[in-house]
Every structure is written in C-alpha cells, then in structure tokens.
Amino acid sequence: VTREEVIKKAESFGRWYHAVELLPGYHTQSMPFGDVWEQIRRVRANLPFENKTVLDLGTMDGLWAFDAEQRGARYVLAGDIWANPRLLFAREVRGSKIIPVPNADIHCLGDRLRSLMVFDRVQKFDVVQCMGVIYHVQNPLLALHQVRRVIAETGILVMESGCWMGGGDDPVLRMNRGEPKPYDDNSTYWLPNLACLKWMLTITGFTVIEETILRLKQQPTCERVALLAKPGPLHPTPDNYGGPVP
Ligand SMILES: C[S@@+](CC[C@H](N)C(=O)[O-])C[C@H]1O[C@@H](n2cnc3c(N)ncnc32)[C@H](O)[C@@H]1O
C-alpha cells in the first residue's frame, strides 16, 4: 500500500477526533483540542511505560493507547463503548499490537475485561488512562470503583476531566444544565469542580498525587484538569451505617 493510498483512506473517514501519526510526518486531521492534549502529554511525560500493562479507557482514535505502546508498554487494551473503524485502520497502518475492546463501558469494566485478562494472563493494569471520559458517564462513582478494581496496587491512574470552576473549596458536582450550560458540550452530563474530582477519587480508593495537578482554563466557567493518582485505602461509607469498618 502506498503513502497516497493510506492518506486517501484516512481522509475517507472524514475528520478524526485525534491527530494520530499514521505515517512518518502524516497526522490525521483532528478536532482542535491541541491544548488539552498538550496538558495530557505533560502529566504523562514522566510515567514509565516500559514493559507495563496499560488500560486506555474511552480510547476514541487511540492516540494515548498508541503512545503507551510506542513508549514500550507490553500490553495495551484500548477500550471504548463503540467499535471505531478509524482505530482499527490506524492500528493496521501502524503495525500496532494494541487490543481494541469495543463495548468496554467503564461502568462494567470488570465483567468485560475479565476473560481477556485471564486469557492473556494479565492480573491488573500498571497504568490506567481515564482521560476525557468521566463527565460523559452517568454513574461516575461506580465507574471509578470499577477502575479501582482493575488497577494494580502499585499502579498509576491518569485522570483528566473537564471541571467546573465554581464552588470554591466545597466539592460540587454540577449538572451540565442551565443557560448558559457550565460546559458547552452536549455529551457532558455534569462536571465536578476540582475539589469534587479529588474527593470522588478519594472515596473510591485513590490517593491524588497533589504535585501532579495541572489546570487549563478552557471555557468561561470550565477548566480541564489532569492529574496522577495511585491506589489508596478503600474508603468505608461515611459512618459505615453503624456497622464494623470492613
Ligand atoms: C472526549 S473522548 C476522549 C478521548 C481520549 N480518551 C482522550 O482523552 O483524548 C471520550 C471517549 O469516551 C468514550 N465514552 C463515553 N462514555 C463511555 C463509557 N461509559 N465507558 C467508556 N468510554 C466511554 C466515548 O465513546 C469517547 O470515545
């Protein structure tokens, strides 16, 4: 297949979400989110990927799954709720070994991934990438609990989300409703403010690494936040309903 044929086929998909390097010097035409991706690049810059197992959630066109592979990851699952033909094409052209997993809804990750992981003898993931996903899901705490169950105790979570800039230090989960909406994006159910994002991670068993937090103002009341977190203590319910702490 010639370079021209690859480019023609890539362009036949229309505009891609990610700018994926298909051939040396050729990136797919992408959405204009360069500043968001630059922040993600920075928060992941010093993460070791060599020989790691990686789970990329909401992989879309696979930019961050391919990046993990290129940086030496030995096993990369690229999950999403849909089967994306662009991802499959990019995988083929790049000669990539990432494993696309359609129907990988973050709410039921354990069930979806179990047989794959058993077959491939992977116990848990060293790196879980959850970027640009959490505000699209209806049950964010359930989703984070699911992530906690598949990450290695020594693993690292890369979290990236749109965040509401109101609420100050109070943790607030702001529904994306009203005129104007806090976030001009129809596929966003709600936005946490930064305090809320941190608290949701805490109560689902993660410890935010404070010094990694990066913030980028994106819209009048919305910023993008990228951070690293590691598995922390599993949190009992607030008063444990009077019962013994598990
Ligand atoms: C904004 S894109 C983020 C792409 C990429 N992770 C990034 O940060 O560049 C959101 C992706 O999350 C996926 N998604 C939405 N709801 C999901 C869910 N419940 N479980 C897993 N992925 C989901 C969408 O299909 C889409 O591909």
From first to last of the 246 residues of the chain, give the pLDDT tens digit: 899 999 999 999 999 999 999 999 999 999 999 999 999 999 999 999 999 999 999 999 999 999 999 999 999 999 999 999 999 999 999 999 999 999 999 999 999 999 999 999 999 999 999 999 999 999 999 999 999 999 999 999 999 999 999 999 999 999 999 999 999 999 999 999 999 999 999 999 999 999 999 999 999 999 999 999 999 988 766 665 655 554
Per the CB < 8 A criterion, the answer to whether 58 and 130 are in contact is yes
Taking the C-alpha atoms of 22, 23, 24 and 28 in order, what is their torsion angle to the nearest 10 degrees?
Answer: -40
The maximal CA–CA distance of the chain, rounded, in angstroms, is 68
Predicted confidence at residue 106, as pLDDT, reads 97
Q: What is the pLDDT at residue 234?
A: 82
Q: Which amino acid is at 133?
A: V
Q: Return the half-sphere exposure (C-beta side, CA atoms, 13 A cut-off) of residue 218.
A: 25
The ligand 1 atom at the shortest distance from the C-alpha of residue 129 is 6
pLDDT value for 235: 74
Contact 99, 116 (CB under 8 A): yes
Q: Tokens 């999950």 label which residue? A: 79
Produce one character per residue of 76-101: b if its CB has 16 or more CB atoms within 10 Å, e if not: bbbbbbeebebbebbbebbebebebb
Ligand 1 pocket (Cβ < 6 Å) reads 57-60, 63, 80-82, 105-107, 131-133, 136-137, 160
The SS3 call for residue 154 is strand
Give the distance (Å) from ligand 1 centre to CA of residue 23: 25
Determine which residue's CA is closest to atom 2 belonging to ligand 1. 132
* pLDDT at 240 (0 to 100): 56
For a pocket test of ligand 1, which of 61, 135, 136 has the largest count of ligand atoms closer than 8 A to its C-beta?
136
Q: What does pTM read for this prediction?
A: 0.96
Could you tell which of 133, 137, 222 is best to mutate to test the pocket of ligand 1, judged by most ligand atoms within 8 Å of the CB?
Answer: 133
- Residue 188 · residue 204 · CB < 8 Å: no
